[in-house]
């Protein structure tokens, strides 16, 4: 009997803690000051003109993230000029994943022609606040009077394998809706990704 009670307490504690982690749609996302691949520090508040942001937790070493690199570049090309720039954040511990260290990030950004900041979540303080669990993991934020409000959480689109076979472009739909002052229809989606690496 005691074992059952302990088990139930443990279970409920586990459930509660997972619910507390990270943002839900409607929450205000924290700003940050993270180092970019060019050595400069980047914050959301630097973007005075921005109407919002496409924050992408991504990395070099995850095949899913790699599969989406070109599509992340395309998102920035399409939406930076509409004041919804891409901000990419690399959340992995680089001792665990040396392939995600600053040098490797610089090399990848250069090779793939990243047009957006590729920031290191040094000390891994930011991704847990957002509640990112994997790469790639996208948060679309809208700049409001209250702050940067989370409007969409999840995948970039519905086909990791083949960009040409995508049926629903989740992130584009969300940003398009926000740009035209509409409600985002699909606010959360799930996709497989690589767990964020910690020590």
Residues that bind another protein (CB under 8 A): 7, 18, 62-63, 97, 133-134, 137, 154-155, 158-161, 165, 189-197
Indicate the residue among 146 and 190 with the shorter CB distance to another protein.
190
Question: Based on CB atoms, which residue is closest to another protein, 85 or 193?
Answer: 193
How many angstroms separate the CA atoms of 87 and 100, rounded? 17
Among candidate residues 54, 90, 72, the one with its CA nearest the CA of residue 160: 72
Q: How far apart are CA 23 and CA 138, in angstroms?
A: 12
The angle that helices 63-79 and 102-112 make with each other, rounded to 10 degrees, is 60
Q: How far is the CB of 3 from another protein (least distance, A)?
A: 9
Q: Closest approach of Cβ 101 to another protein, in Å?
A: 15
H or E segment and range at residue 41: strand 41-42
Smallest gap from residue 190 Cβ to another protein (A): 4
Report the alpha-carbon distance of residue 115 to residue 112 in Å, rounded.
9
- Our CB check for another protein shows the closer of 9 and 41 to be 9
Q: Which is nearer to another protein, 115 or 133 (CB)?
A: 133
């Amino acid at each position: 009997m005691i074992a059952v009670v302990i088990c139930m307490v443990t279970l409920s504690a586990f459930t509660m803690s997972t619910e507390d982690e990270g943002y839900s749609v409607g929450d205000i996302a924290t700003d940050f000051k993270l180092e970019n691949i060019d050595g400069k520090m980047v914050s959301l508040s630097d973007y005075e003109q921005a109407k919002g942001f496409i924050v992408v937790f991504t990395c070099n070493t995850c095949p899913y993230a790699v599969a989406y690199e070109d599509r992340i570049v395309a998102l920035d090309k399409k939406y930076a000029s509409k004041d919804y720039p891409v901000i990419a954040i690399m959340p992995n511990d680089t001792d665990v994943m040396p392939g995600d260290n600053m040098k490797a990030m610089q090399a990848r950004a250069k090779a793939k022609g990243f047009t957006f900041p590729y920031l290191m979540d040094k000390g891994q303080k930011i991704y847990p606040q957002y509640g990112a669990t994997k790469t790639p993991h996208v948060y679309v934020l809208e700049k409001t009077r209250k702050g940067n409000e989370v409007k969409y959480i999840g995948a970039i689109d519905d086909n990791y394998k083949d960009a040409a076979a995508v049926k629903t472009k989740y992130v584009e739909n969300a940003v398009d809706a926000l740009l035209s002052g509409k409600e985002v229809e699909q606010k959360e989606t799930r996709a497989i990704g690589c767990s964020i690496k910690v020590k």
